[in-house]
Structure 1
């Protein structure tokens, strides 16, 4: 009798789970697995959102940092503020970078001269020019032979470079026609054709400019005058090779002795740019159309960028968008 009970107990012990028990275990396992997957997906979405938001903020930081440098220096001279400027470049109207209009000029629509082919319509843009920081010092200037002697052979000035020359009375925009950096301290600015394009209309660098004869308006820059490369750039929203909107910078370069404009993508994901400007006596910033002929009076620019995340991680299934604003004062016009 005892042996039979022990056998029955052993049979029950090795019988395993029944169907109902197995189904309950499977349901509990599925619930735990589902909860784990839900937590994983939630964390993954949070990570993607945070990562994309970080990329938007990084793009904004890069855009504002680089753009602010150009805006801050707009209209600046290596020597002094608000100097009269004589521009002796040939055919100035042909290219935006050969003109001088006070250092800053914005547009609500297309640029009047050389609108970039990939520019996005209905976005603002701005054109900026200044005497590059640094430069070299003049030790002597022979106006008749159109030659500067500078204080070092390591002047980094090349044939075709457009430069700004200045002292504390005036400034001149002129193109280098002959220079040998690393070898010779002489920098030549002869008129006419040759290696430099567009070239100079006269040797005379005085104000007002007279292009009617090769000697023009005579002016000799004295010792300690400055020669610096002209810094010219345009900032705009363009479409890149991936058919996405991006912030672009078009800048003045010298290629084979010719001045030319080169466009480079700064950061992707910038959907829109709107810029307003502060004029003396105004309580509010105004758009480019309201500035009119007063660009040489602009004190500051208010830049508004709308940025978009690379991925569609918003709660509505669309990319995240953020609009950020940065105000930049023009250094040479601040009190």
Structure 2
């Protein structure tokens, strides 16, 4: 019996196996390269998007509050203060003088609507390397030195800005009872009361009442929900109210006392913070935008004519120079701060996470208001610098 011939069985030779493995390795390497390039492009795009988004929010917050500087009802702070001390009153002072106002804690100095604190070593033409790990600075690292309200909060190398003004929305005064000891009770429409508390976690204790001739900023126990009146708190030896306001002509406002600074959030990342004082020793801290690495400010000073600002910006100086010194100890400095009509603002924003390493990106230099900033070695975060100028609408031309 004959058996059919079996077909020849052939395997894969070693050479063919090696060629196949080589082709597979090349294909896998190509896929890995495509994935790595896609991931790098995503990181770069994500970092740039986060930087751009954060910068828009930061600039918006700062611009909005900067434009309110000098708002005290229907006339601005220059008009009130340059007309004479009787037109502007801080009820908690011991007298209606510049010296008495300067003696108050920084967050109660509403006679100075704006004051800056320049981080030492960050003037125009300066150069500094950004630290890999930002740290909180000592109060003496700013000129003038930081007040107790914000000392121990701000990151070294970044300017600090203080703003004080009456909130844009007020409620009409419906009654004014002078009361005993020059501590009046001010009535208002209870339905409009929420306007005074809007945006606050607690209740405001700093308030201001103003008409087109006078303004008084005072401290209250707070405004309870549903309340239709508020009483001023006047301590022994304090000035209290020097003027009486007529219902229908005056409005009641929340008085804003704000510090902007770069601080460290709970995970150690730099962020733009707003410290808002709602009363003596009572404050709310808000983290506004993560990734803001530094703030820089320069202040445009208006000339004066007939005891009023002209609105023409003739000089630009950082805080601590050009007469912009420590207003708490100098009447001349306080007067100069009231002549600031424009603010040059710059900020450097970085991405929360490292971005892709791009040729020329690592170690790149950034310039913010003339300050050269260089990231530390090996830092691959996406960054960008932003600058703008804000005109203070309550300051220009005496308004």
TM-score between the two structures when normalised by the length of structure 2: 0.70
**1:125 corresponds to which residue?**
160
Deviation per residue, 1:171-219 (Å, 9 max, x gap)? 1111224755414x232225237xxxxxx9244333xxxxxxxxxxxx3
Structure 2 residue 89 is matched with structure 1 residue 86: yes
Deviation per residue, 1:52-82 (Å, 9 max, x gap)? 1111111111111112111110111232223
Matches of 2:316 and 2:5, distance apart in 1: 96
After the TM superposition, which residues 91-240 of structure 1 pair with which residues of structure 2 at under 5 Å, given as runs?
A: 93-108=103-118, 109=142, 110-145=145-180, 146-152=184-190, 154-156=192-194, 161-177=205-221, 180-183=224-227, 185-192=228-235, 201-206=238-243, 219-240=244-265
Deviation per residue, 1:108-146 (Å, 9 max, x gap)? 113244333121223211100110111111123232451
After the TM superposition, which residues 62-81 of structure 1 pair with which residues of structure 2 at under 5 Å, given as runs?
A: 62-81=57-76
Number of aligned residues: 307
Matches of 1:249 and 1:125, distance apart in 2: 10
**2:132 corresponds to which residue?**
none
> Which one has the largest radius of gyration?
1
Deviation per residue, 1:12-65 (Å, 9 max, x gap)? xx4132211111111011101101110111110110111111111111111111
Extract unaligned runs of 5+ from structure 2.
Answer: 82-87, 95-100, 119-141, 198-202, 303-311, 325-332, 363-377
Matches of 1:333 and 1:251, distance apart in 2: 22
Matches of 1:263 and 1:44, distance apart in 2: 37
Contact persistence 2:211–2:245 (CA under 8 A): no
Matches of 1:67 and 1:32, distance apart in 2: 52
Q: 165-174 or 154-163, which moves further after superposition? A: 154-163
Structure 2 residue 294 is matched with structure 1 residue 272: yes
Structure 2 residue 73 is matched with structure 1 residue 36: no
What is the alpha-carbon root mean square deviation over aligned residues?
A: 2.7
TM-score between the two structures when normalised by the length of structure 1: 0.82
Q: 150-159 or 28-37, which moves further after superposition? A: 150-159
Contact persistence 1:142–1:220 (CA under 8 A): no
Contact persistence 1:125–1:273 (CA under 8 A): yes
Contact persistence 1:236–1:247 (CA under 8 A): yes
Alignment match of 2:390 (pick from 306, 328, 331):
328
